[in-house]
């Protein structure tokens, strides 16, 4: 294993920028997680999955986990079931965002099955229909698997994983899940827009830095799309 290649300066640059964004984003609350005390969606939900696009799905997941753990320890968060569960959704979202492979549709499928296996989930089955969205993005023609499609699929992949974990770990009612339907639509629409905007912004920033310093970066180290770099 060539550690110098794995931790190249260019890849480390993105990891440092991304970790700094996570540390800041985790401290800016966006909305409460209804049904769970003292838990909030944060600015992190607006850019978390993009690591998979720039570093590839595997290194993207590792980077997200590393950034989350760094924030976890620095912030001194408690080792509670809820806090540990909340580390996982963005890992799957990053993997989903970072690859075009069809097997990622298994993530929302399995999460949906786990949710529906719970008695409360079965009664609030309509809630699981949201998770047809990331499945559809992967089975539709490739032209739909663009940045907007990836962003939409990624945020609902995170939603599926988180919901399946929460329905089994905290006491809820079918009425609670049904009441969340309109909230989820608004919330995830905003997250989709945020993820897409974050991708374009980070792509432009990295492209500008690379051009300025004349760096030559192999595509397998840092995936950039010059066509999507902002002028």
Nearest 5°: phi and psi at 185?
A: -60, -50
Mean per-residue pLDDT pooled into runs of 10, the chain (231 residues): 61 76 79 66 84 85 86 78 84 92 93 97 97 93 81 95 93 93 92 92 82 68 63 41
Distance CA(102)–CA(112), nearest Å, equals 17
Residue 84, CB half-sphere, CA atoms under 13 Å: how many? 5
Burial of 126 (0-12, 13-18, 19+ CB in 10 A): exposed
Rg (CA), the chain: 18
Q: Where are the beta strands (DSSP E) in the chain?
A: 29-32, 40-42
Q: Following DSSP, what letter does each residue of 59-106 receive, concatenated?
A: HHHHHHHHHHHHHHHHTT----HHHHHTTSHHHHHHHHHH---GGGGH
Q: For residues 107 and 157, is the Cβ–Cβ distance under 8 A?
A: yes
* Rounded Cα gap, residues 213 and 72, in angstroms: 34
User: Do residues 97 and 146 lie in contact, with contact meaning Cβ atoms separated by under 8 Å?
Assistant: no
pLDDT of residue 87: 84
Q: How far apart are CA 85 and CA 161, in angstroms?
A: 9
| pLDDT at residue number 3 | 54
CB-based burial label for 139 (10 Å; 0-12, 13-18, 19+): exposed
pLDDT at position 8 is 67
Model pLDDT, residue 62: 86
Q: Hey, what are 22's tokens?
A: 């996570």
């Amino acid at each position: 294993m060539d550690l110098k290649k794995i931790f190249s300066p260019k890849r480390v640059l993105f990891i440092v920028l991304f970790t700094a964004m996570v540390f800041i984003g985790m401290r800016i609350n966006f909305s409460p997680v209804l049904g769970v005390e003292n838990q909030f969606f944060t600015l992190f939900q607006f850019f978390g999955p993009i690591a998979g696009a720039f570093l590839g799905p595997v290194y993207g997941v590792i980077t997200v986990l590393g950034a989350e753990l760094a924030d976890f320890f620095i912030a001194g968060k408690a080792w509670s079931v809820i806090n540990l569960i909340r580390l996982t959704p963005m890992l799957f979202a990053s993997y989903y965002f970072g690859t075009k492979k069809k097997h990622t549709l298994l993530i929302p499928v399995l999460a949906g099955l786990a949710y529906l296996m719970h008695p409360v989930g079965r009664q609030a089955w309509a809630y699981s229909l949201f998770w047809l969205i990331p499945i559809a993005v992967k089975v539709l023609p490739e032209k739909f698997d663009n940045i907007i499609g990836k962003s939409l699929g990624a945020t609902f992949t995170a939603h599926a994983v988180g919901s399946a974990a929460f329905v089994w770990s905290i006491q809820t009612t079918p009425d609670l899940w049904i009441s969340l339907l309109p909230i989820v639509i608004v919330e995830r629409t905003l997250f989709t827009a945020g993820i897409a905007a974050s991708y374009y912004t980070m792509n432009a920033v990295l492209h500008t830095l690379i051009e300025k310093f004349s760096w030559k970066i192999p595509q397998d180290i840092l995936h950039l799309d010059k066509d999507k770099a902002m002028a």
